Chain A
Amino acid sequence: MSMYHTKSVTELSAMLQAGEVSSVELTQYFLERIKSSDDKLNSFITVCEEDALAQAKESDEKLKAGNAPALTGVPIAHKDIFCTDGVKTSCGSKMLDNFISPYDATVVANMRNAGVVMLGKTNMDEFAMGSSNETSFYGVVKNPWNLKAVPGGSSGGSAAAVSARLAPASTGTDTGGSIRQPAAFCGITGLKPTYGRVSRFGMIAFASSLDQAGPMGQSASDCALLLNAMAGFDEKDSTSIEKEVPDYSADLDKPLQGLRIGLPKEYFAHSEGGMDAEVEATIKAALDQYQAMGAELIEIELPNSGISVPVYYVVAPAECSTNLSRFDGVRYGYRCEDPKDLNDLYTRSRGEAFGAEVQRRIMVGTYALSSGYYDAYYLKAQQLRHLISDDFTRAYEKVDVIMAPATPETAFNIGEKTDDPISMYLSDIYTIAVNLAGIPAMSIPVGFANNSSGESMPVGMQIIGNHFEEAKLLNVAHKYQQVTDWHTRLPEEFK
């Protein structure tokens, strides 16, 4: 049998267009792979065998007719946070275990229009709240590189599925690092676009001012293809931005000669985040590679980076506390048995269906918005966001992109941090500022380093850009991937 799982989306797309493989064949291949291997990973909540094959058949007809878009017939997975017409959309929660969405999210519709086949819906932290996929109602996802380790979160299912090549690519969402941290932990390439670049319509809201959808794939060139289909203004999302979508594949090969790379001294000085020494060494090696390609390394300052985590943990819970109010057991979703009265209906439905982390954040957020505390918490946090954002603005006067670790350490073991929410929150210390500032960032695999249990795990490096500079990020990542092979490596068990 052909080894389609070793092919990138870019390669599969070319093969489909050339008629070397049919979409039905590819789809069957990946469905089979999910069937035989996902027991080990638990990366899918729902697999859409019938629908996928029907879509594949349709795609094959379009391909035969000619002039089909680039992604026609490519099978991918969607994070279960995106509403999918006629398919269960759980958001990783017992609350929505019975919810079949009657409509498609804009991202899903855009992908459908691009001819993409949906293999299924991937596992995730409940309502995207978590950094390890351990808060999912559907159980933890395992890291394909080491089944004892977490895949990261919240897009852990997407990252694991792509890492193990159960799907050639996947969509994810990133509120505080939920694409980049799992991409780093699982050794894949993930991109969080500029806030407003991709529509949030139909993406179940966690923290509305931070949430952004993006692609998770094997390489920068795959992410470019996927982003071409995902991005764009949507009149159904008032916060999406009316700005032309460039062809993200067009500039991938631009030389990096003279590229100015900013290195935030706060991230590398051991003072913040406590970066693991092996991780740091791996990142430094990647930076050397960039230098060798003609880039210039410049130390920069992000003086307010220390307040990112506290600011985030006010803003995100505050917004989530009201975004999740609609899950009340009245119109859809979980409803408790035999409610005595309205109050009982609310408290038991929500108490029984939301997990501990979701409840913790709803309570924190409710407190932060309460009368008398609003000014001190939410309003203050929103003001501080500007300081964080200004740090980046100043930095981009001097540099083209910023590089930083994606996480302070490699993937930790399942259960290692579940009793210590603060330590869990700190695993996003390098990713959160980007969401607060609304700028785009990627994580690419740059090597391996031992985790706290002495297992060798992938290391991810972030490339952070200024607003709407996704094309530049993809170019910078792609050039590196042209001269390294970290992104093509497969976990032993899934080769």
Chain B
Amino acid sequence: MSAEYGSWEVVIGLEIHAQLATKSKIFSGASTAYGAEPNTQTSVVDIALPGVLPVLNKEAVHMAVKFGMAINAEVADRSVFDRKNYFYPDLPKGYQISQFELPVVGIGSIDIELENGETKTIGVTRAHLEEDAGKSLHEDYAGMTGIDLNRAGTPLLEIVSEPDMRSAKEAVAYMKKIHTLVQYIGICDGNMQEGSFRCDANVSVRPKGQEEFGTRAELKNINSFRFVERAINIEVERQIDVIEDGGEVVQETRLYDSVKNETRSMRSKEEAMDYRYFPDPDLLPVILTEEYRQQVKAELPELPEQKQQRFMDELGLSAYDAGVITASLALANYFETVAEKTGDAKLSANWITGELSARLNREEIEICSASVDAEAFALLLQRIKDNTISGKIAKDVLDAMWDGEGSADEVIESKGLKQITDTGAIEAYVDEVIANNPSQFEELKGGKDKMMGFFVGQVMKMSKGKANPAQVNELIRSKMK
């Protein structure tokens, strides 16, 4: 996999920010719902009025512990909230409450699958709780900046990986794995457009075989899988160019510009802020008992690997199909509904990994945005199974359903796509095709089996695909006797 970087080895670590799906903020009772009018979801605590104090939302801790247990991490007996001090207009207190020395989740790991089919373990250094800042709105206020504090105080879990990834593809695989996991355990909605799941990437390069790490650059706030891959690769290219031209990579924070597909410097190490971290005296340390951790562990839902194994063992899916389907909880749920309704897991898996996924990819949408829901999709597959339509016709029916033309039955009815199973009608097509192609029929009878396909094809063509292929086969064979 590393062949793509020539004689260089790339070293990547990710810091993923997952917005926790709590109803209220991490230190106040205000709602975390997305998209409200600016500054309508702010309490006196969120706007940092004089005298207010933070009170920890226990649900945020619960979610962080869930994550820790899901990656078999060390979950701290005692963790501490610290103040990270800096001035910015969308940071109301002049400090962010975060965790510095004693995070709630310590060392853990997660496995990713490489393109060659191998599994690689990526270390997770830590995951800590913190509050999000508000938003600065620079447009619309000629020369001034608007501040929206609705997001201020939204709980985040910052998941910091070890520098274990060696290519942009590995980084994406890791990010996708975490993305899948946080949705499985119900701690994050994973919505990247709304910023619920985003990452910073630490990227460096070193000559192959060198043990020492190269100087790293931190790429800030990348909010799609595609951009992660592109941002890392463009940054790697830049760093290699700098070194090959005799220069030195400087430690700095860089911003990825997805429009220009380039990274540019935000601030260097020398300009790096001194955040003056210290334990927040307004909050008590978080004390977790072993009993609590075990209870959270016991409450964990089925995790992606477990689901994949079950789909293989109980439903007979291939490792590949099970892997593709379980990579998204929504897709796995969709599949389970379809498989249950149709009673045919294999057929369901084929259609979901094939036709359905193709349509999703084409439109770049997630399963939750698909216009055909699991029940409707199951009905379509039922119509294949009960011979109302052929698999080939079913693809056309799916297209029509996708475009909102109705249910499978409605489309079949309105377009007259019902399969012909009347033996008389099919026999007439068969007779006509044999009459039109006497020499080919002789060849078939003489033992040239390949001719069978030709005859079936001709009959299907004549019936506009509606003849039942099995019946066509059978009739042709009977004519050969």
Contacts and interface: CB of A to CB of B under 8 A. Distances in A.
Given A322-B94, A328-B87, A202 B51 contact: yes
Given A322-B83, A369-B276, A371-B274, A238 B284 contact: yes
Contact of A236 (B48, B53, B83, B283): B53
Contacts of A205: 50-51, 282
A381 to B, nearest CB: 11
The B contact surface, by secondary structure, is: loop
A83 B276 contact: no
Given A103-B44, A322-B83, A204 B281 contact: no
A185 interface: no
A239 B284 contact: yes
A235 B55 contact: yes
A346 interface: yes
Q: Which among B49, B51, B284 has the greatest number of chain A C-beta atoms within 10 A? A: B51
Given A208-B282, A370-B276, A238 B53 contact: yes
A237 B27 CA distance: 11
Nearest to B85: A322
Interface string A322-346: 1011111011100000000010001
A324 B44 CA distance: 16
Contacts of B54: 238
B87 A346 contact: yes
Contacts of A410: none
Nearest to A367: B276
Contact of A325 (B51, B53, B55, B94): B94
Nearest to B48: A326
Nearest to B282: A208
B385 to A, nearest CB: 59
Contacts of B94: 322, 324-326, 328
Contacts of B51: 82-83, 89, 101, 105, 201-205
A378 B55 contact: no
A180 B51 CA distance: 22
Contact of B50 (A235, A318, A321, A326): A326
A102 interface: yes
A101 B53 contact: no
Query: Size band of the A side of the interface?
Result: 35 or more
B475 interface: no
Contacts of B48: 326, 331
A326 B147 contact: no
A354 to B, nearest CB: 13
Given A239-B281, A325-B95, A369 B85 contact: yes
B462 interface: no
Contact of B95 (A103, A239, A322): A322
Nearest to B84: A322
A209 B50 contact: no
A385 to B, nearest CB: 12
A207 B281 CA distance: 9
Contact of A83 (B50, B56, B95, B277): B50
Nearest to A203: B51
Interface in A270-329: 318-319, 321-322, 324-328
Interface string B35-76: 000000000100111111111100000000000000000000
Contact of B278 (A96, A330, A378): A378
Contacts of B92: 326, 330-331
Contacts of B50: 83, 89, 91, 96, 99, 101, 204-205, 326-327
A204 B282 CA distance: 12
Nearest to A202: B51
Interface string A22-33: 000000000000
Contacts of B95: 322, 325
Interface string A170-187: 000000000000000000
Contacts of B49: 83, 101-103, 332
Contacts of A326: 48, 50, 92-94
A236 B281 contact: no
B53 A330 contact: no
Contacts of B277: 369, 374
B89 interface: yes
B147 A330 contact: yes
A366 interface: yes
Interface string B76-114: 000000010101010011110000000000000000000
Nearest to B81: A238
Contacts of A332: 49
Contacts of B85: 322, 325, 369
Kindly name the residue among B48, B52, B93 whose own CB sees the greatest number of chain A CB atoms within 10 A.
B52
B56 A369 contact: no
Interface size, B (range)? 20 to 34
A330 B89 CA distance: 7
Nearest to B50: A204
A331 B47 CA distance: 8
Nearest to A240: B53
A266 to B, nearest CB: 27
Given A102-B44, A239-B284, A366-B276, A201 B89 contact: no
A378 to B, nearest CB: 6
A234 B159 CA distance: 33
A319 to B, nearest CB: 6
A200 interface: yes
A201 B282 CA distance: 10
Contacts of A331: 47-48, 92, 147
B429 to A, nearest CB: 80
Contact of A239 (B83, B274, B276, B282): B282
A51 B137 CA distance: 40
Interface in A427-486: none
Contacts of A103: 44, 49
Nearest to A329: B89
Contact of A202 (B52, B56, B147): B52
A200 B83 contact: no
B282 to A, nearest CB: 5
Contact of A200 (B53, B275, B278): B53
A325 B281 contact: no
Which has the most chain B C-beta neighbours within 10 Å: A82, A105, A325, A371? A325
Contact of B55 (A236, A322, A366): A236
A374 B55 CA distance: 26
A236 B282 CA distance: 11
A331 B83 CA distance: 20
Nearest to B136: A342
Interface string A185-228: 00000000000000011111101110000000000000000000
Contacts of B83: 322
Contacts of A322: 83, 85, 94-95, 276, 278
Nearest 9 pairs between A and B by C-beta? A325-B94, A208-B281, A369-B276, A209-B281, A202-B51, A326-B48, A204-B50, A83-B51, A371-B274
21 contacts: A82-B51, A83-B51, A89-B50, A91-B50, A102-B44, A103-B44, A208-B281, A235-B55, A238-B284, A322-B83, A322-B276, A325-B85, A326-B93, A328-B89, A332-B49, A342-B89, A369-B277, A370-B274, A371-B274, A371-B276, A378-B278
Interface of B: 44, 47-56, 83, 85, 87, 89, 92-95, 145, 147, 274-278, 281-284
Given A204-B50, A369-B278, A371-B276, 10 more contacts: A99-B50, A103-B44, A235-B55, A239-B282, A239-B283, A318-B278, A319-B281, A326-B50, A328-B87, A331-B48
